[in-house]
Amino acid sequence: MAVEVGSIVEGKITGVKKFGAFVLLPGGETGMVHISEVSNEYIQELSDVLNEGQIVKVKILSVSPDGKIALSIKRTEPRPRPTRADTGRVWQPRTPAPQTNLSFEDMMSQFKSRSEEKISDLRRVTEARRGGGYSRRGH
């Protein structure tokens, strides 16, 4: 059976190393699953997850000109959807919904007032980090 890139086949693990696992494919050829292609989760020790003799489903990623076959176990399963905890906080601007009835001058004055508020907040935070807004030297 010829190895076809993109196909998913079952194979038997023939060896487990720190960097990956070797898999015997149905045609008698051997390919390797790199540790990064085993799971969507972080794996400290590959031998904790895979064992010699275990039957696994693998996807054939590539075949190099010298005959090396790159395999993936994690790409045979649907990718898990990230949860809110995985993605962290998402930045949202604090601007109100645009009002279309405002004139250019009104929009400009709103922009200026928001900018001045932001600058004063930034100055306050910066001065607090420096230890206050005044210096005792010279007094």
Q: Could you please report the per-residue DSSP string of 88-133? A: -------PPPP-TT--HHHHHHHHHHHHHHHHHHHHHHHHHHHT-S
- The model scores a pTM over 0.85: no
Q: Which residues contact 99 (CB under 8 A, 6 or more apart)?
A: none
Which element (helix H / strand E) includes 15?
strand 8-16
Q: Is residue 84 part of a domain?
A: no
Interstrand relation of 69-72 and 30-34 (parallel, antiparallel or unpaired): parallel
Tell me which residue of 90, 82, 70, 93 sits closest to 22, measured CA to CA.
70
Residue 25 domain flag: yes
Cβ within 8 Å of residue 121, ≥6 positions away: none
Q: Do 49 and 16 share a domain, yes or no?
A: yes
Is residue 4 within 8 Å of 63, Cβ to Cβ? no
Neighbours of 71 (CB within 10 A): 27
35 and 69 fall within a common domain: yes
Query: Residue 62: what pLDDT?
Result: 94
Is residue 88, in this structure, part of any structural domain at all? Answer: no
β-strand partners of 69 = 63
* Together in a domain, 20 and 67: yes
What is the chain's pLDDT, residue by residue, as a tens digit (139 residues)?
578 899 999 999 999 999 999 999 998 999 999 999 999 888 889 999 999 999 999 999 999 999 899 999 999 988 777 666 655 566 566 666 666 678 888 888 888 989 998 898 888 888 878 776 555 555 5
Total structural domains in the chain? 2
The Cα-based distances of 9 to 17, 24, 61, 138 in angstroms read 21, 10, 12, 80
What is the model's pLDDT at position 53? 95
pLDDT at 18: 93
Q: What is the pLDDT of residue 93?
A: 61
pLDDT at 107: 85
- In angstroms, the CA 50 to CA 82 distance is 25
Say what the pLDDT of residue 1 is: 58
In a domain, 122, yes or no: yes
Q: How high is the pLDDT of residue 68?
A: 93
Give yes or no: residues 12 and 67 share one domain: yes
- Which range marks the domain in which residue 108 is found? 99-131
